[in-house]
C-alpha cells in the first residue's frame, strides 16, 4: 500500500514539474512580447494624439461645415468591432472583453436595433460565430504583425458600410493596457464622431488656411484617424493580452511550485512511514524467534 502510494506521488510530482516548465516558458515568452508590444503602443500614441488635436482644431475653426462622419442619423444598425486575443491561457483577458461586448450587444438588440459584429482575434471570431448576431467580417492572427496598412484595409471596409448606410453607428471594444498588473476592457463610440470642441481653449485661429478646403482636409483625416484608433486598439489589446498571460502564467508557476512542495512533504512522510513499518516488522519477527 505504502509503496504504490509513493509511486503515485512521484508520478504526480513529475507531471506537475513538466506543466511548470511549460507555464514558465510561456511566462518568459509573454514578457518579451510584452516589452515589444508596449513600445509599439507608446510610439503609436503620439501620432494619434496629434491627429486628434488637428481634427478638433479644424472642426472648431470651421464650425459651419457638416461632414458625413459627424452628422447624427437615426440608429438602426450598430456595428461592433470586438478585439480579443488569438490564444487562450491568459487569465480572464478574453472572457472579460467578450462578456462586456456580449452584454452590450444584448442591450442594443433589446431596444429593437440590429447588431453586427466585426471580430478581430481568433477567440473573438470563435465566440461570436456561436452567438445569435451576424458576423460581418472576421480577422484572425493579425494582431502581432499588424501595421497601419492592415488597419486601413479593415477601416476602409467599415467606412464603406457606414457611408452606404449599412450601419449607423460604430462601437469599438478592446482591452486597454494600464500597467503590467491591470488591463481594463473598454468600449468606445467611433462613429458618428464626437469632436470635443472645447479641447483647444485658445483663441479660434480662424485665419488658418486649408488646402483644398477645411471639409476636404477633415474628410481625409477622419478615415486615417479611425484606422489610427483601430491600430492603436489592436496594439494596446495585444500588449494587454501579453501582460495578462504573463501574470496568469506567473501565478500558475507559483501554484505548481507550491503543490510540488506539499507533495514532496507527503512523499517524505509516506517514505518515513514505510521505513518505520519495515523496522517494526523486522523487530517483531526477531522477537517472535527469540
Partner 1 sequence: MSATFRLKVITPQKLFFDDETENVIVRTTVGDVGILAKHIDYVAVLPAGPLKVKMKDNTFRVAAVSSGTLKVSKEGVVILATAVEWADEIDVEHAKRSEEDAREKIKIHKSGVEFDRAQLKLKRALNRLSVSKNR
Binding residues vs partner 1 (CB under 8 A): 40, 43-44, 46-48, 50-51, 54, 58, 148-149, 152-153, 156-157, 160, 205, 207-212, 214, 216-217, 220-221, 224, 228, 231
Spatial contact of 26 and 280, defined as CB atoms under 8 Å apart: no
Nearer to partner 1, 44 or 143 (CB): 44
Nearer to partner 1, 149 or 188 (CB): 149
CB of 129 to partner 1, least distance (A): 25
CB of 135 to partner 1, least distance (A): 20
Nearer to partner 1, 220 or 268 (CB): 220
Q: Taking the CB of residue 89, how many other CB atoms lie within 10 A of it?
A: 16
CB of 125 to partner 1, least distance (A): 22
Tally of CA atoms within 13 A in the half-sphere of 119 that contains its CB: 23
**CA gap 25, 244 in Å, rounded:** 15
- Residues 45-78 as b/e (b if ≥16 CB within 10 A, e otherwise) read eeebeebbeebbbbbbbbeeeebebeeeeeeebb
CB of 207 to partner 1, least distance (A): 6
**CA gap 76, 134 in Å, rounded:** 14
Nearer to partner 1, 160 or 261 (CB): 160
Q: Helix axis angle, 214-289 relative to 93-110, nearest 10°?
A: 130
CB of 47 to partner 1, least distance (A): 5
Nearer to partner 1, 2 or 217 (CB): 217
Amino acid at each position: 500500500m505504502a509503496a504504490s502510494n509513493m509511486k503515485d506521488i512521484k508520478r504526480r510530482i513529475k507531471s506537475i514539474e513538466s506543466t511548470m516548465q511549460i507555464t514558465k516558458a510561456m511566462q518568459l515568452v509573454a514578457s518579451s512580447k510584452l516589452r515589444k508590444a508596449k513600445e509599439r503602443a507608446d510610439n503609436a500614441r503620439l501620432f494619434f494624439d496629434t491627429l486628434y488635436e488637428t481634427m478638433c482644431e479644424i472642426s472648431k475653426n470651421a464650425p459651419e461645415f457638416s461632414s458625413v462622419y459627424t452628422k447624427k442619423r437615426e440608429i438602426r444598425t450598430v456595428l461592433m468591432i470586438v478585439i480579443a486575443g488569438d490564444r487562450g491561457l491568459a487569465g480572464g483577458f478574453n472572457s472579460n472583453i467578450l462578456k462586456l461586448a456580449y452584454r452590450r450587444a444584448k442591450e442594443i438588440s433589446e431596444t429593437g436595433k440590429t447588431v453586427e459584429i466585426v471580430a478581430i482575434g481568433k477567440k473573438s471570431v470563435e465566440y461570436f460565430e456561436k452567438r445569435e448576431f451576424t458576423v460581418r467580417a472576421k480577422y484572425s492572427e493579425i494582431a502581432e504583425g499588424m501595421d497601419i496598412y492592415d488597419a486601413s484595409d479593415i477601416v476602409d471596409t467599415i467606412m464603406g458600410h457606414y457611408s452606404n448606410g449599412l450601419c449607423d453607428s460604430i462601437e469599438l471594444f478592446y482591452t486597454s493596457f494600464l500597467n503590467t498588473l491591470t488591463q481594463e476592457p473598454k468600449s468606445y463610440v467611433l462613429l458618428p464622431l464626437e469632436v470635443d470642441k472645447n479641447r483647444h481653449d485658445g483663441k479660434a485661429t480662424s485665419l488658418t488656411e486649408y488646402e483644398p478646403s477645411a471639409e476636404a482636409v477633415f474628410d481625409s483625416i477622419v478615415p486615417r484617424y479611425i484606422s489610427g484608433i483601430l491600430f492603436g486598439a489592436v496594439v494596446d489589446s495585444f500588449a494587454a493580452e501579453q501582460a495578462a498571460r504573463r501574470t496568469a502564467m506567473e501565478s500558475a508557476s507559483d501554484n505548481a511550485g507550491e503543490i510540488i512542495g506539499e507533495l514532496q512533504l507527503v512523499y517524505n512522510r509516506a517514505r518515513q512511514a514505510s521505513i518505520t513499518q519495515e523496522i517494526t516488522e523486522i523487530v517483531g519477527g526477531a522477537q517472535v524467534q527469540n
